[in-house]
Amino acid sequence: MRVTRKNGPDTTRTGAAARAASATCEKVLCHFGAGFAGLMLAGPAVAETTLSQIEHGAYVARAAGCMSCHGEDLAGGYQVETPMGTIVASNISPSHDYGIGAYSRDDLADVLRRGVSPNRRLYPAMPYASYRGMSDTDIDDLYVWLRDQDPVEQAPDEETDLPFPFNIRFGVIAWNWLYLEDRDLPVADDPILSRGAYLVNHLGHCGECHTPRNDLFAMQDDQYLAGEVIDGWLAPNLTPDPLSGIGAWSARDIIEYLRIGTAGDIVQAAGPMADFVQHGTSHLTEDDLAAIAAYLQIIPAIDTRDQDIPVLVPMDQREAPEHRFNQIREEMTAALARDDLSEPEHLFLDHCASCHGVTGQGQSQAYYPPLVQNAALRREDAGNLLLVLAHGVPAGKLYRAPAMPGFADALSHDEIAMLANYTRTTFGGRQDSDLTAADVARAISPDEEMSDTLRSLQVAAWVGLIGGIGLLVFVPMLWWWLARRRGLKRQEG
C-alpha cells in the first residue's frame, strides 16, 4: 500500500455501498404521490434514477453531518460559538421564503465549495473548506434529495448577529483568498483508504473540529487532526499516536464509536460529537465506517504531548466489567454503614454510585457505562469530564443510553472538582488529579476576555474592510485620471 499526498478536490464516488435503507424508499414513494406517477409515465428508467438519487442524497446528507447543525427537519437553529461570536445554522429546507428552495444545483455547489450563496457569503463555520472536495455525484444527489424534503416555512428563532466589523461579510473574501485552496492531506492508492480519506477529509469534515486553528481561524494542516477545543469541548487528537491520539484503539473500537457512540464500553461520545454520531455516523454503512477506521490508522501520528497514559486502554489490558443482580444495593448498604467516609466518597455515593456502582462497574444491562478505565477519566485534559458533570447528557444521544443528570445546580464548583478528582484517581488509572473550582468555572463559563485569536480576527477584518473601501475609492479615481490624461493628449494633438 502506498500513502501519498494529493492536491485538489477528491472526486471519489460513493458507489452502491452508500445506498440508504429501504425506509427512505417508502418515504419517497409516499412523498411523491402523483408526482411519482408522473415519473413512471416518463419511463421506469427515469423514475428509478430519481429514486436512486434521492436515496443516495439522503446518505450523503448523513455522512456530511447536515442534520447535526440544521436539524432533522433542516430548519436550522444550531448555534456555533466562535471567536467572532455566535453563528446560527440557517434553514436549508426547500422553502422559497426561508430556506434554499430557489437554489439551483450550481448554487448549492457554490455554497459547498466556495461558501458563496446567491445572496451572501458564508462564514467558514460552515465547513466549505472541507466540502470543497465533495464529488460532483454527491452534490448532484444531495441537491435532488434536498429538493424532495418538506419545506419549513419559518426562520430559526435566532439568527447570526456578529459584532462590528465581523458582521460585514466582505472580510470573508480576504479569508477565502488566503485559505480556500487545494489542501495537502494524506491520501492513498488503496480504494478502501481512498474512500476513508474522502469521508474523513471532505464529506465528514472531521478536520473542522479536530484540527488546531491559527489566529485567523484557518485549519493548520501541519497539525491535521491533532485536536482542538471548539465550543468549549475538546475535539481530541485523531492521529494514531499511542498516548495523545487513538493509536491504542482497534479498528473495531473506531467503528463502534462512530456507529453507537461508545467503544469497548469505556469511551462515550458527548457534546457536539454525540450529535454527530446521532444524526450522522450512526447511519453509515459498515463498509464506510471500516474505511474511516482504516484511514485514521495510517495517517501520520502527531504527538501533542498532552497525555501521559493512553486514553483508551489497549485491548489486552482491559478489565471486563462484572455486574451481578443486586450488587449495587449490597455495596451501597455496606458503604453507607461506614463511619470513615471521606467527603469525596460521600459525594460519589450520593450522586454517582446508584448508576455506575460503588466499585465503578456500571450496569451493562441498563446501559450505564463502567467508570473503571473509562476514557473520560483517563484524559489529561479534564474539560469534557467537567462539562458532563456540570451539564449531564440528555437521553437518546447515544444508542439506548439513559440520561445523565448535570450537577451544576446541585453542587458547588469545589464539589464538582472534588468529584472529578476522586473518580479520575479511583477508577481512571491516574496517579493524581488536582482540579480546582477555578478549573470548573473555566470549563463551564470560558474566560470572556478578548483572546489573541479575537484580536487577530478583528485586525484582519479591519484590514479587509479598509482595503475594500480603498479599492472602491482608488479604482474610480484611477479610471478618472487615465480618462483625463487621454482627453488632454487629444487636445494637445
Mean pLDDT rounded to a whole number for the chain: 84
Among 181, 211, 233, give the residue marking a domain's end.
181
Shared domain for 116 and 50, answered yes or no, is: yes
Whether 410 maps to a domain, the answer reads yes
Whether 275 maps to a domain, the answer reads no
Shared domain for 378 and 488, answered yes or no, is: no
Angle at CA 397, nearest 5°, toward 392 and 400? Answer: 105
| Phi, psi of 368, deg, nearest 5 | -90, 115
Shared domain for 417 and 464, answered yes or no, is: no
- Report the b/e string of 223-249 with b at 16+ CB within 10 A: bbbbbbbbebbbbbbbbbbebbbbbbb
Among 408, 424, 444, give the residue marking a domain's end.
444
Whether 126 maps to a domain, the answer reads yes
Shared domain for 75 and 101, answered yes or no, is: yes
Does residue 374 carry a pLDDT above 90?
yes
Categorize the per-residue pLDDT at 42 as very low, low, confident or very high, splitting at 50, 70 and 90. low
Whether 172 maps to a domain, the answer reads yes
Position 170 scores a pLDDT of 72
230 bridge partner residues: 233
Residue type, 383: G
Shared domain for 359 and 491, answered yes or no, is: no
Does residue 446 carry a pLDDT above 80?
no
Whether 41 maps to a domain, the answer reads yes
Does residue 31 carry a pLDDT above 50?
no
Whether 491 maps to a domain, the answer reads yes
Shared domain for 26 and 159, answered yes or no, is: yes
125-171 pLDDT, tens per residue? 899 999 999 999 999 999 999 999 999 999 988 887 776 666 677 77
Task: Provide the number of structural domains found in the chain.
Answer: 3
Whether 407 maps to a domain, the answer reads yes
Distance CA 187, CA 284 (A): 21
Does residue 45 carry a pLDDT above 80?
no
> Which residue range forms the structural domain that includes residue 86?
1-181
Shared domain for 19 and 145, answered yes or no, is: yes
Provide the CATH number for the domain around residue 409. 1.10.760.10
Shared domain for 43 and 151, answered yes or no, is: yes
Categorize the per-residue pLDDT at 175 as very low, low, confident or very high, splitting at 50, 70 and 90. confident
Shared domain for 438 and 470, answered yes or no, is: no
Q: Annotated binding site, which residues?
A: 66, 69-70, 206, 209-210, 352, 355-356
Instruction: Look at 480 and 92; give whichever has higher pLDDT.
Output: 92
- Report the b/e string of 289-319 with b at 16+ CB within 10 A: bbbbbbbbbbbebbebeebeebbbbeeeeee
Shared domain for 397 and 490, answered yes or no, is: no
Shared domain for 383 and 320, answered yes or no, is: yes
Shared domain for 138 and 34, answered yes or no, is: yes
334-352 pLDDT, tens per residue? 999 999 999 999 999 999 9
Mean pLDDT of 382-394: 95
Q: Annotated binding site for heme c, which residues?
A: 66, 69-70, 206, 209-210, 352, 355-356
Whether 376 maps to a domain, the answer reads yes
Categorize the per-residue pLDDT at 2 as very low, low, confident or very high, splitting at 50, 70 and 90. very low
418 Cβ contact list (under 8 Å, min separation 6): 343, 344, 347
